[in-house]
Chain A
Amino acid sequence: GNSVTQMEGPVTLSEEAFLTINCTYTATGYPSLFWYVQYPGEGLQLLLKATKADDKGSNKGFEATYRKETTSFHLEKGSVQVSDSAVYFCALSNAGNNRKLIWGLGTSLAVNP
């Protein structure tokens, strides 16, 4: 079946540190992969996505590359800011899922000044 595994949090970093949040997936076929972010007190927002192998999604300084050989979609940012403090969710969508997004549990990130 389809599943998403994210690294457990919370992750605590100092401002300007490098961020990696690991995400691996299990899926049949060729899923699309997503990172969503949830800021405190808000709903989820799409951060970036990739729809085929070797695609790189990027937004707001965040990047993630769709690696089919390692079934991974790790989220990275070179220099985090306090405003990046949020919960980050990895998700996949598969043609056979009929609109379902399969979600990871989320990784909480706290960035200290």
Chain B
Amino acid sequence: ETGVTQTPRHLVMGMTNKKSLKCEQHLGHNAMYWYKQSAKKPLELMFVYSLEERVENNSVPSRFSPECPNSSHLFLHLHTLQPEDSALYLCASSQDGLAGRGLETQYFGPGTRLLVL
């Protein structure tokens, strides 16, 4: 299944580094998402983009900066992260139906395993 790809798959960075996570979807969808998955916690929705416009930002710290240059690509720019930011970062996409319906199925990439030292 290669509908949603993410690079890199693994990333180790120091707290002063700047790095970016990349997500690409090949499904023709118009909405993309960033999630954070930490052990023993529910999946946390971070950002939602619909038609390249950010429609949701769930109180995510400013050290995480998303970018959606077109409907197929989504980036998450990282700078001055903390060790507690170590997690699996998942990208997902969906075909947005009627506005606000929220019933569409989301398709996930394999994730980027991030370790902050």
Contacts and interface: CB of A to CB of B under 8 A. Distances in A.
Interface residues of B, number: 30
Contacts of B4: 43
B105 A49 contact: yes
B107 A46 contact: yes
Interface in B54-91: 55-56, 90
Main secondary structure of the interface of A (DSSP, over half): mixed
Interface residues of A, number: 24
A19 interface: no
A98 B56 contact: yes
B110 A98 contact: no
A99 B105 contact: no
Interface stretch (A58-66, A67-75, A77-85, A100-108): A100-108
Interface in B30-72: 31, 33, 40-43, 45, 48, 50, 55-56
Given A45-B108, A49-B105, 18 more contacts: A34-B105, A36-B108, A42-B110, A43-B6, A43-B109, A43-B111, A93-B103, A93-B104, A95-B102, A98-B56, A99-B31, A99-B48, A99-B56, A99-B96, A99-B104, A100-B45, A101-B43, A101-B45
Given A99-B96, A100-B45, A46 B103 contact: no
Nearest to B44: A103
